[in-house]
A and B are shown apart, each in its own frame.
Chain A
Amino acid sequence: MRRGIAATALVAALGVTLAACGSDSGSNGGGSKGSGELSGTVTWWDTSTVGSEDKVFKKVAEDFKKKHPKVTVKYVNVPFGEAQNKFKNAAQSGSGAPDVIRSEVAWTPEFADLGYLAPLDGTAALKSADDFLPQAAASTKYNGKTYGVPQVIDSMGIFYNKKIFKDAGVEVPKTIDELKTVSAKIKQKTGKTGLYLRGDDAYWFLSFLYGEGGDLVDAEKKTVTIDNEAGVKGFKVVKDLVDSGAAKTDATDGWNNMQTAFKDGKAAMMINGPWAVADTYAGKEFKDKANLGIAPVPAGSHGQGAPQGGHNLAVYAGSKNLDASYAFAEYMTSAETQATVAKELSLLPTRQSVYIKPDVATNEMIMFFKPVVDKAVERPWIPETGSLFAPLVTEYTKVLTGQTSPDAGAKATGDAYRKLLKDWK
């Protein structure tokens, strides 16, 4: 009888597995059938910084229930670095995808192009769309339709520790050359690292690339520009910063090590954006918030340039609860919600009307970043923009760790781009 038992167990196990495959993960049905009242579940994938921003966003998202008592919001925090691929996998296979995703500006046209997003024109998701900053709204448009609602907008600047600067007797560097001398002086006077430069994410490279007059691609002329003279110079600048000891880098655990070093006062400067503010204030060096200084990114030989980024809320086209999802996207981007988020996390609103609210207008971080965002360098909002970082980060890390030269790194990135963008020069 032993065999019989084993066979039964096998059949049972098989049955369980198949049943598990068949069960539907994700959202329940619902919507506004009949009565006009929204119901069901809305799953939201947030990508905000864990440990600081996520708490606020979770609370704000779950408060949606106060307006629509029959709707349950399921908040899921997906690490930013994984969210793009995770969403694409889930969206394509049709199981496990969220109803609403916090989509980075460069991902939005890509997701839309792949057919994963629901167009939002004429739905409840877009309310008083004229109020949105034009730069923020630009990335939500693809092929004449709107696929996202701008949630936050951002750019980058130098975060510096005022106390260390005072101890070393230095001023905030305005150019790359000044950055090097300031770093050297800080090292000499206090023994601390000048700048912590993230080596595992190429987004942190962009302000140096723009500073030398370079760019990833020129979408109007359909030309790849990363491997031109200015692009190579950008690579040379970051390599020189690391080699000369002006900057410290980390190629595997960049975000955590950068934040820890800066928060513990081991590094005097870092280049970062508004998304890091709440996390930085939690550090022991910044118990007195006034110790955190902020300044524009140092200018390169060509000028100053910081990338414009941000996040949109997009609705998955395969959502089983579209109506509630539209309403949720509207709620999360409403002037009221943006004001709460701006106050608690110093994130930049995307609605012009929010900037004049008293709590927002007196926030030092927001008042600093607003003019920076206005001049920030916009990336082309083509579907391939979401694909440009993967080849760049590989070469960027290789250059920083000395595995390849700036010239070869720029060239390899350019070759990868030309493979990606068919028929571009």
Chain B
Amino acid sequence: MAVDTPSQSVAKAAGDVARGRSRGTGKPRSAAKRSLSTHWYAWAMVAPVIIVIAVIIGYPLIRGIYLSLTNANERNVARSIGVNEIPATYEFVGLDNYADALTGSQFLSTLGWTLLWTVACVSLTFALGLALANILNRKIAGRSAYRLMLILPWAVPGFVSVFAWRFLYNQDNGLLNKILAGGGIDAVPWLNDPTWAKFSVILVNVWLGIPFMMVALLGGLQSIPSEMYEAAEMDGANAWQRFRHITMPGLRSVSTTVILLSTIWTFNMFPVIFLLTRGGPGEATQILVTQAYKFSFEVSPRDFAQSSTWGVLILVLLMLFAAVYRRVLRKQGEVW
């Protein structure tokens, strides 16, 4: 989110200058000059951020879009290794990569599973997070201890917990199967069967995502005035009615935001898939980002063009989603 703040302010500042010019007050240049002289401090402050963003986001983005329009791979990009100077020989191929991706079966089938994965993860995380937030919003004994424990998955670095899960899931030597064996149940192929693997990766991602949902929703719950619940109780509303007509509308602004964020994060949740299954078995759990990574770093020769094409398509899909989501919310009268 730190990324948005400066870029918005830049856009605003730039807008001011542009308006100044188009208004045609006769002294456009001095307006710009005046803006610079009065706001030089602001410009100086945002300059490092603009430079950093241009370097770490702008350049890779433009380069990625450019590569997606070529046939660049490991064998034809420029390399300079000691005495060997090899010039670039890749060519511009227009939209061929996009046509291949969108007409081939691989992109669409991967997209299908990515959507299923996103919807399953976000809805489960949201439902469980909401339930836990409601429980922990009541005055129960040891409330802060529970809250602390439920935040733990968030406090542990993601890759550490994913590795821990990998050990738990190990079919021959994992703890989960040892416990099941104690109950006389046959070993479950957690990560070795395509369907089970899908289930397993979703489970881990839900486990990882609950703390964020819970904390955000708990904050939302606490901002709902308790007088409303009291009044409703006086009017004879039961628990479900209070939840449905006070809690849900009260959480609206928080939940729309966390659902949007969670969707974007889950759609691109690289570490869970990569570290648990590497997209396997076969390609059963490969989502769009892990497949794009595979093109660029795992197949040989490494296919930079196809990888960037998938990257750009992911960006477009997420932007479309955000735009549609915003529109729907605005139609429902949400100011966002």
Interface-lining segment among A49-57, A108-116, A220-228, A268-276: A108-116
Q: Counting CB contacts under 8 A, is B5 at the interface?
A: no
Chain B residues positioned under 8 Å from A397 (CB to CB): 280-282
Q: A89-B297, A398-B283, A401-B192 are contacts. A317–B84 as well, Cβ < 8 Å?
A: yes
Q: Is A359 an interface residue (CB 8 A)?
A: no
B284 at the interface (CB under 8 A from A): yes
Within 8 A of A (CB), among B66-97: 74-75, 77, 79-84, 86
Q: How far is the CA of A316 from the CA of B172 in the complex (A)?
A: 40
| Residues of B103-145 whose CB lies within 8 A of A | none
B52 touching A401, Cβ below 8 Å: no
Closest B residue to A11 by CB, please name it: B48
Cross-chain contact B277 with A252 (CB below 8 angstroms): yes
| The residue from B48, B166, B172, B282 contacting A394, defined by CB atoms under 8 A apart | B282
Cβ 8 A contact of B191, one of A88, A252, A318, A390: A252
Chain A neighbourhood of B75, CB < 8 A: 113-114
Which of A130-138, A253-261, A364-372 is near enough to bind chain B?
A253-261
In this assembly, does B57 line the interface, its C-beta being within 8 Å of a C-beta of chain A?
no
- Interface of chain B residues 164 through 219 with chain A (CB within 8 A): 166, 170-173, 191-194
Interface status of B298 (Cβ within 8 A of chain A):
yes
- Indicate which residue in B74, B171, B284 contacts A403 across the interface (CB closer than 8 Å): B284
B301 at the interface (CB under 8 A from A): yes
Min CB distance B51 to A, Å, is 8
- Residues of A contacting B: mostly: helix
Task: Determine if A345 is an interface residue (Cβ-Cβ < 8 Å).
Answer: no
Asked if B62 is at the interface of the complex by the 8 Å CB criterion, the answer is no
Contact across chains for B172 and A250 when beta carbons are under 8 A apart: yes
A382 within 8 A of B: no
**Across the interface, which residues of A come within 8 angstroms of B79, CB to CB?**
92, 114-116
Q: A92-B74, A94-B80, A250-B172 are in contact. Are A390 and B300 (CB under 8 A)?
A: yes
Given contacts A257-B170, A261-B172, whether A88 and B302 have CB atoms under 8 Å apart is: yes
B171→A257 contact, CB < 8 A: yes
Select one of B170, B193, B300 contacting A84, CB under 8 A: B300
Q: Is the CB of A10 within 8 A of B49?
A: yes
Does A85 have its Cβ within 8 Å of any Cβ on chain B?
yes
Beyond A92-B74, A118-B82, A317-B83, whether A401 also contacts B170 by CB under 8 A is: no
| Residue ID in chain A nearest B194 by CB atoms | A403
For A94, the chain B residues whose CB sits under 8 A away are: 80-81
Interface residues in B26-75 by Cβ distance below 8 A to A read: 44-45, 48-49, 52, 74-75
| CB neighbours of B299 from chain A (8 A) | 387, 390-391
Contact flag A260-B302 (CB < 8 Å), given A251-B280, A316-B81, A317-B81? no
Contact partner, A14, options B52, B277, B301, Cβ 8 Å: B52
Contact A401 B171 (CB under 8 A): no
Taking the closest CB of chain A, its distance from the CB of B22, in whole angstroms, is: 31
Contact between B283 and A394, CB atoms less than 8 A apart: yes
The smallest beta-carbon distance between A396 and chain B, in angstroms, is 9
A398 in contact with B172 given A114-B74, A114-B79, A115-B81 (CB within 8 Å): no
The answer for the CA separation of A85 and B299 in the assembled complex, in Å, is 8
How many residues of chain A are within 8 Å of chain B by beta carbon?
47
B48 touches A14 (CB 8 A): yes
**Known contacts A115-B84, A318-B81; A401 and B298 CB within 8 A of each other:** no
Contacts of B277 in A (CB 8 A): 252
Q: A218: shortest Cβ distance to chain B, in Å? A: 20
Closest B residue to A319 by CB, please name it: B82
What interface size band does chain B fall in? 35 or more
Is the Cβ of B300 less than 8 Å from the Cβ of A252? no
Q: A92-B79, A110-B300, A118-B82 are in contact. Are A401 and B49 (CB under 8 A)?
A: no
Closest to A4 in B: B45
**Which of A7, A116, A390 meets B81, CB within 8 Å?**
A116
A251 touches B300 (CB 8 A): no
Kindly state whether residue A91 has any CB partner on chain B within 8 Å.
Answer: yes
* Minimum CB distance partner of A3 in chain B: B45
| Residues of chain B contacted by A85 (CB below 8 angstroms) | 297-298, 300, 302
Q: Determine whether A395 belongs to the interface, using a CB cutoff of 8 Å to chain B.
A: yes
Q: Chain A residues with Cβ under 8 A from B74's Cβ? A: 88, 92, 114
User: Which B residues are CB-close (under 8 A) to A199?
Assistant: 192, 281
- Bound complex: CA of A277 vs CA of B297, how far in Å? 31
**A-contact 0/1 string along B291-322, CB 8 Å cutoff:** 00000011111100000000000000000000
The verdict on A403 contacting B82 (CB below 8 Å), with A114-B74, A257-B170, A260-B172 known, is no
With A88-B74, A260-B173 as given contacts, are A10 and B192 in contact (CB-CB < 8 Å)? Answer: no
Collect the chain A residues with CB atoms within 8 Å of residue B86's CB. 115
Q: Chain A residues near B297: list those with CB within 8 A.
A: 85, 89
Residue of B nearest to A322 (CB): B82
Q: Could you tell me the distance between the alpha carbons of A318 and B298 in the complex, rounded to whole angstroms?
A: 23
- Given A114-B75, A115-B81, the answer on whether A7 and B281 have CB atoms closer than 8 Å is no
Min CB–CB distance B27 → chain A (angstroms): 30
A118 (CB) vs chain B CBs: closest residue = B82
Task: Report B255 CB to chain A, min CB distance, Å.
Answer: 32
- CA of A304 to CA of B283, assembled, Å: 31
Flag if A404 contacts B48 (CB, 8 Å).
no
Contact pick for B280, options A88, A252, A391, CB 8 Å: A252
* B residues less than 8 Å from A91 (CB atoms): 81
Closest B residue, CB atoms, query A260? B173
A200 within 8 A of B: yes
User: Nearest Cβ distance between residue B301 and chain A, in whole angstroms?
Assistant: 6
Nearest CB of chain B from residue A104's CB, rounded to whole Å: 12
A245 within 8 A of B: no
Residue among B77, B173, B282, B301 making CB contact with A401, cutoff 8 Å: B282
Q: Is A26 an interface residue (CB 8 A)?
A: no
Can you list 30 A-B pairs with a CB-CB distance of less than 8 A?
Answer: A3-B45, A7-B45, A10-B49, A11-B48, A14-B48, A14-B52, A85-B298, A91-B81, A92-B77, A116-B84, A118-B82, A199-B281, A250-B171, A250-B172, A252-B192, A252-B280, A253-B166, A253-B170, A257-B172, A317-B81, A317-B83, A317-B84, A319-B82, A386-B300, A387-B299, A387-B300, A387-B301, A397-B280, A401-B194, A403-B281
Top 6 nearest A-B pairs by Cβ distance? Answer: A398-B282, A251-B281, A387-B300, A318-B82, A317-B82, A115-B84
Chain B positions within 8 Å of A, measured between CB atoms, are 44-45, 48-49, 52, 74-75, 77, 79-84, 86, 166, 170-173, 191-194, 277-278, 280-284, 297-302
Given contacts A316-B82, A397-B281, A397-B282, 16 further A-B contacts (CB under 8 A): A7-B44, A7-B48, A200-B281, A250-B171, A251-B280, A252-B192, A253-B191, A257-B171, A266-B172, A316-B81, A317-B82, A318-B81, A390-B298, A394-B280, A401-B192, A404-B282
